[in-house]
Amino acid sequence: MTKRIRQDRPTRQAQIFETAARIFCEKGFDKASMGDISAATGLTKAGLYHHIRSKEELLYEIMSYGMDLFERNVLNKVMAIEDPLERIRATLRGHVLLVTRDRPKEITVILHESNALRGRYRDRINARKKRYVKFLEKTFRELARSGSARRVDPSVATFAMLGMINWIYQWYRPDGRLDENALADTLADLFLGGLLKPAAASR
């Protein structure tokens, strides 16, 4: 139920999540301690453990919230688009803009700490990631059936697209010369149309 509370008003628990996400981004999950988080929130350690059971639970809650943001702002908006080409372009643009314009700390934590979760926490986050992978694979299959796409293995297309997008946070500087909309369009054109001009590509 933490998710619902969080979206409605900034409760103490939401403040803890927010602070912990920032500290995980700065120090990394392994190096960050519950002591760092209690100090940054102004709570005693006992006070912190009243709201949250463990550092792992905190990581899980942050990643869950990151997946909520992704699903609400990207996936749920594009799933119903009928035309697979329009659907893939809107997904690519939406996903790129989420990581470049909105830059939620929670998404950075998902990307950077993907191996830190264990057990059922890990399974639950992975199931949500897998849902997105299946959606992309299905869209690439539809696109191939429609006759507009080449015969490319849908899993390779999926992970090539995810690699392009998930790498952005490693190099993109929002205050650099490249505007986020231009980046989203360029990546969409590159992925859909390729680097070469049609004549050179078909050689």
Rounded CA-CA distance 86/116 in Å is 35
How many CB atoms are closer than 10 A to CB 196?
10
- Token readout for 146 is 């429609």
DSSP 98: I
Q: Tokens 């992978």: give the residue.
A: 133
- Candidates 115, 119, 120, 175: give the one binding a second copy (CB under 8 A): 115
Rounded CA-CA distance 5/22 in Å is 20
Decide if residue 119 touches a second copy (CB under 8 A): no
Decide if residue 44 touches a second copy (CB under 8 A): no
Decide if residue 194 touches a second copy (CB under 8 A): yes
Decide if residue 183 touches a second copy (CB under 8 A): yes
* Closest to 91 in 3D by CA, of 184, 9, 178, 13: 184
- Candidates 5, 79, 127, 201: give the one binding a second copy (CB under 8 A): 201
Decide if residue 33 touches a second copy (CB under 8 A): no
Name which of 54 and 155 has its Cβ closer to a second copy. Answer: 155
- Token readout for 136 is 């992309």
Name which of 61 and 180 has its Cβ closer to a second copy. Answer: 180
Smallest distance, Å, CB 172 to a second copy?
8
| DSSP one-letter string for 93-139 | HHHHHIIIII--HHHHHHHHTTTT--HHHHHHHHHHHHHHHHHHHHH
Decide if residue 200 touches a second copy (CB under 8 A): yes
Query: Which parts of this chain interact with a second copy (CB under 8 A)?
Result: 28, 30-31, 85, 88, 114-115, 140, 143, 147-150, 152-153, 155-157, 159-160, 162-168, 170-172, 178, 182-183, 186-187, 189-202
